[in-house]
Chains A and B, each alone.
Chain A
Amino acid sequence: MPVAASAIYFLNLRGDVLINRLYRDDVGGNMVDAFRMHIMQTKELGTCPVRQIGGCSFFYMRISNVYIVIVVSSNANVACAFKFVVEAVSMFKSYFGGAFDEDAIRNNFVLIYELLDEIMDFGYPQNLSPEILKLYITQEGVRSPFSSKASDKPIPNATLQVTGAVGWRREGLVYKKNEVFLDIVESVNLLMSSKGSVLRCDVTGKILMKCFLSGMPDLKLGLNDKIGLEKESQMKSRPAKSGKTIELDDVTFHQCVNLTRFNSEKTVSFVPPDGEFELMKYRITEGVNLPFRVLPTIKELGRTRMEVNVKVKSVFGAKMFALGVVVKIPVPKQTAKTSFQVTSGRAKYNAAIDCLVWKIRKFPGQTEPTLSAEVELISTMAEKKSWTKPPIQMEFQVPMFTASGLRVRFLKVWEKSGYNTVEWVRYITKAGSYEIRC
């Protein structure tokens, strides 16, 4: 097990230390000053997440308005360190009730110290699962064993659970209504040339689950992915259904998934942890359905005028609609005046990011709104710096649409008691870095 951290710091955007914990004494207490000096106060911030300064490595990550910095002096496992931070943040979120920011940290100093003590020991990551941690790090007062009122819950045995066969689930859970929520969340990354040809395109997706199931249920998930379907048709010795099959790359599973069974039967079967977790992650590079097409025309008329025309076409079903669509069209830094004409939504010039920002709150499928803008530039001293046209960027969310075409075919739940369950499945596609060159 590799060392992941010698110390962890939580800084706000100004560089003040909110809270910190030293796990090993091979780094000095002033190392965070070096971070402030050499990273935060330079333009480097945000360019490279790993930096070495004076024999120490700094791994940092920004989560809302907090920088989490890990300092290590030995040769640490970087991936492990970042995974640790990510897991810690999700653990904190589950403790704080969703939000993780400067205020949340300020309001939970004691709890955070307690958790930091628990989740890492001498630089080695420990159990970060909030379900288990919550067994013995509680936010409530301590109940005295001599109190008259007997506890209504059995006192959980943390040790037993951590060392047991199903370490991620405690026994004896009882829900009145047994429900399973399953979300498929995909984000589309795209780089398209101005001519409309796709230069790079992929989808990263994850399947999130939220389980409220009694007892020790065994779940089985079926998707319309290629391997699973082929295996199934083999097993049932009947020809594969004609229809779309999806080829998943780089699939990773939550630790609860029974991998031997996946390897032999190609089915995803698992005993889920209680509550929310990420069941699997995958990537798709072939056969991506792009939700939007963008057709820009930008003309520079002389040194001080520009004409921008952008047409955005939605190519998903007419009954669906996208939410929160934002199109950012970059313009030169010396932009002075702008005037717009849009067929839907609203547009304005944002000087802080040097972009024309066009927002459409609700974007129905199979439509093509346009924007045409006139941009006036101010003349500058500098000898006509050639403007490197950055790509147009897009943000959106399309519910009930998967860019990969992935579908859940079935989700089966078995439990000894044989109760009925309700399954909810949701799909959503978001924009990752969705860029169109112009």
Chain B
Amino acid sequence: MAMHGMRGLSVFISDIRNCQNKEQERQRIDKELGNVRNRFKNEKGLSPYEKKKYVWKMLYIYMLGYDVDFGHMEAVSLISAPKYPEKQVGYIVTSCLLNENHDFLRLAINTVRNDIIGRNETFQCLALTMVGNIGGREFAESLAPDVQKLLLSSSCRPLVRKKAALCLLRLYRKNPDVVNVDGWADRMAQLLDERDLGVLTSSMSLLVALVSNNHEAYWSCLPKCVKTLERLARNQDIPQEYTYYGIPSPWLQVKTMRALQYFPTIEDPYTRRTLFEVLQRILMGTDVVKNVNKNNASHAVLFEALALVMHLDAEKEMMSQCVALLGKFIAVREPNIRYLGLENMTRMLMVTDAQEIIKRHQAQIITSLKDPDISIRRRALDLLYGMCDVTNAKDIVEELLQYLSSADFTMREELSLKAAILAEKFAPDLSWYVDVILQLIDKAGDFISDDIWFRVVQFVTNNDDLQVSAYILGEYSHLLARRPGCSPKEIFGILHEKLPTVSTTTIPILLSAYAKILMHTQPPDQELQSQIWAIFNKYESCIDAEIQQRAVEYFALCQKGAALMDILAEMPKFPERKSSLIKRAEYSEADTAEQSAIKLRAQQQPSNALVVTDQPPANGATSPVPVGQLSLAMVPSMITTEDHTSTDPASSQQNGSLTKVDPQHPSADLLGDLLGPLAIEGPPGATVQSEHNAVSRLEGGPDAVDGSAIVPVEEQRNTVQPIGNIAERFHALCLKDSGVLYEDPYIQIGIKAEWRAHHGRLVLFLGNKNTAPLVSVQALMLPPAHLKMELSLVPDTIPPRAQVQCPLEVVNLRPSRDVAVLDFSYKFGTNMVNVKLRLPAVLNKFLQPIPVPAEEFFPQWRSLSGPPLKLQEVVRGVRPMPLPEMANLLNSFRLMICPGLDPNPNNLVASTTFYSESTHAMLCLIRIETDPADRTQLRMTLASGDPTLTFELKEFIKEQLISIPTAPPQSPAPAPAPPPAAQATPQIPPNDPAALLAGLLS
């Protein structure tokens, strides 16, 4: 070492080490710095030896953390010294004390360059090392050619060349222009033929940086990388010194695989096969061993391999192998390995469709929830949350519930939130959901945020038959009172009729309703008041404490008069029903680290992996569809004037129209609507005509089956004419998820659908409107090739005034515009009726709007270049409409308009994700250029990763733009806000004979 014989330096260092405390050390150092300053000042008397010694001292002081703001000149000047020891200290101290922006470095460029192009290898190494550490732009400009030459030169020793590669990497990072893409790609490929692993490792680092910027130019390197990887994996020709715990250069392996991930795909089948063989070998060959270092190395390789497998979207078998391997990892005792296993599984879940395979390890993952290490527990929770779907929701949620009671306090909130979301999203039936949430509230107590129990209250209030009816009447009857015939008295009469028959738990609610009715009666009705007071009086001596208490309290309150107003005021509105839970989950998901990492990677590489990773986890926490499925409200919006987002517009519209058509029994109608179930239970003599409100019912809940009222709307007719225009109904349903599909005098077929990714679940509501049963009911699905449909059994007979629900499962296999047809027939009396109905399981139902920011849109748009992935067509004969209207229309097809991406205000840019089994989630980008002068023509450009999808979507949009259904003029259909009744009613056009007839008859 060059320090030999520098006595002053070693004395100084030992002085420092002997210092008792920081103060002493500081004093010693200040003294020494004073000394050094003094020496540097009389430059003339300074010998090279002394200079070297003082510069070393400066470095030592600097490394101890003290400011050294002088003497840089001396350090830099040592670089040009002829002897090695001085040059060495010059280079070392310069690279430590100076940064790339220092002016002094400029002085050294020439010397450094001389060293690099000189013949002395050690000097070359010193210079390359320094430039590799602190080289800046100026260095890049003046030294890059020399460094490149050195890297390529065959006469240089590998030692120099590997330093040159790293040096070039630094220069490239400082100034990407120094590497000329055209010329360098071939040379890079050449470099990868290198046999020396040291040079190869350095070159690979360089390659990773190069391809991360521009993979196009370096296609030629891809096979070389695979070859390198193969060589390493087969352990061919690997020198001993590059083998680490028996693993051939893990660093090079990792770097190579990292480089490969920057290429979007591998097209050459041979290369692809070879790569998969290699990956297979890595996957097979990795195991958990005792030695920590070996584990670290082999796992680094393995996880990079996993990332590569995910990136390449390998076949299912390989995936399952990966998952199996990860499964082995999560069963290991060592926590680090288990953590990695869980984390990678979660990542895998996001990137690929490995859900089914991962499910096999569910039990093991659940065990990990009980791990002593909290980070592992968190990973396990994330993974469980991610892997949950309809099939395993019950198990997972119950497991989470069980775990909740023993979970860490810090985790409880997240845990309960996730359990609540899962329960909500995948609830097989309602009662289970309510059970789960109540258990959750019971167990987690404080950790339950308000949102969770709000939602339960919503559910319970929405689904408890009479209790609810009474509650609602109590709450909202005053709004009804404005209508003729809806006087509080009548409402009270109807409610009171039921009082003797209901259970004791319902009575208190009825009492509350009475109290509220009384309160809302303006001006006060003495008769009603006395009636109600009489009832309260009667129940004041009731045996049931609850009823008694209520009666007493209400009685007392009633007499107080004005005070009643506040106490019995309407319940406050429920908050926005789009679950705030999910919003919160998004929020908490957003800060999990691995997501950001994936996102980062995705941003770096414009490959098709982006499409998926950028999405929220496949079971779409953000998708509005699962939200819709849950937000059910029974109260028709028109009556309540409440902003219940999901109140089915269709049902309320029908209410509205009916009220007009049938003015003689409006109150009965409305009540019938509200008290559907009551109407059934009630005495048959009560000629209550009920409007069909089945669609607004919760679908799927078995307990809700009988909950819908029956629909004998008008007088019976012998002609079997459909009511309303079937085609219009179909078009309307294309845009929304529930409504009436078909209606005739005997039957009404309602439909309610929910869509999640490429799965759909439709429920057909077959309602017999008549007092006689419908027989020989048959429903036959005629599905097109791209849809897999399963219709559950349709009963042969529909009893009078009953409604039957038939769930229908839909799976989208691939993109297509074909439409499924329902062949439906029944017999009424002697009439055989047969209709063929198109089902609204159309292309746009499998779309999921997704906002794409500009920085992601444009790379995507560019990467999908030319047909068949990108198609363009000039469409003529478009129904002219203003641009916002078109944007609305597109939005209603679940194409998310991205404003601001196109500078031209006449153009529209939209994005969406299409789900099908073959394409999985596929990002589609749409651009529509309109001509302000001629609104009937436009140019449409579509891009997606799948040629069929591009074509079909283009055709679909074209159809929609040309032949726009006239029925819902520009109603944004899936938008939650209920449109004004008159406008959005599936109109009965005046020329419809059936409707005219109905009008006349009533």
Contact = CB atoms under 8 A, between A and B. Distances in A.
Interface of A: 12-15, 41, 334-337, 349, 351-354, 376, 378-382
A354 B30 contact: yes
Interface residues of B, number: 26
A381 B24 CA distance: 26
A336 B41 contact: yes
A378 B41 contact: yes
Given A13-B20, A14-B21, A334-B70, A378 B34 contact: no
Given A380-B70, A381-B69, 4 more contacts: A14-B20, A336-B37, A349-B34, A381-B102
Contact of A337 (B24, B26, B41, B69): B41
A378 B70 contact: yes
Interface in B24-70: 24, 26-28, 30-35, 37-38, 40-42, 69-70
B70 A13 contact: no
A335 B27 contact: no
Nearest to A349: B34
B41 A351 contact: no
Nearest to B19: A14
Contacts of A352: 26-28, 30-31, 34
Nearest to B97: A381
A379 B37 contact: no
Nearest to B71: A378
Interface of B: 20-24, 26-28, 30-35, 37-38, 40-42, 69-73, 102, 104
Contacts of A353: 30
Contacts of A376: 41
- 3 A-B pairs with least C-beta separation: A351-B34, A336-B41, A336-B37
B30 A378 contact: no
Dominant SS at the B interface?
A: helix
A335 B70 contact: no
13 contacts: A334-B37, A334-B69, A335-B37, A336-B38, A336-B41, A337-B38, A351-B31, A351-B35, A352-B28, A354-B30, A378-B41, A379-B73, A380-B70
Contact residues of A: prevailing secondary structure: loop
Contact of A380 (B32, B42, B69): B69
B735 to A, nearest CB: 62
A15 B20 CA distance: 10
Contacts of B71: 378
A381 B38 contact: no
A334 B36 CA distance: 10
Nearest to A338: B38
Contact of B69 (A12, A349, A354, A382): A382
Contacts of B22: 41
Nearest to B40: A378
Contacts of B30: 351-354
A366 B144 CA distance: 74
Nearest to B41: A336
A380 B38 CA distance: 13
Contacts of A382: 69
A268 B636 CA distance: 97
B639 to A, nearest CB: 60
A382 B71 CA distance: 11
A13 B42 CA distance: 38
A379 B70 contact: yes
A381 B28 CA distance: 22
A228 to B, nearest CB: 46
B64 to A, nearest CB: 14
Greatest chain B CB density within 10 A among A41, A349, A380 is at A380
A255 to B, nearest CB: 38
B983 to A, nearest CB: 67
B40 A336 contact: yes
A353 B41 CA distance: 20
Nearest to B21: A13
Nearest to A385: B69
A216 to B, nearest CB: 49
Given A336-B38, A381-B70, A382-B69, A351 B20 contact: no
Interface centre among B42, B70, B71, B102 (most CB of A within 10 A): B70
Contact of A381 (B21, B32, B35, B72): B72
Contacts of A380: 69-70
A31 B498 CA distance: 73
B783 to A, nearest CB: 69
Contacts of A354: 30
Contacts of B102: 381
Residue of B22, B31, B34, B71 contacting most chain A CB atoms (<10 Å):
B34
A379 B43 CA distance: 13
Given A13-B20, A337-B38, A351 B69 contact: no
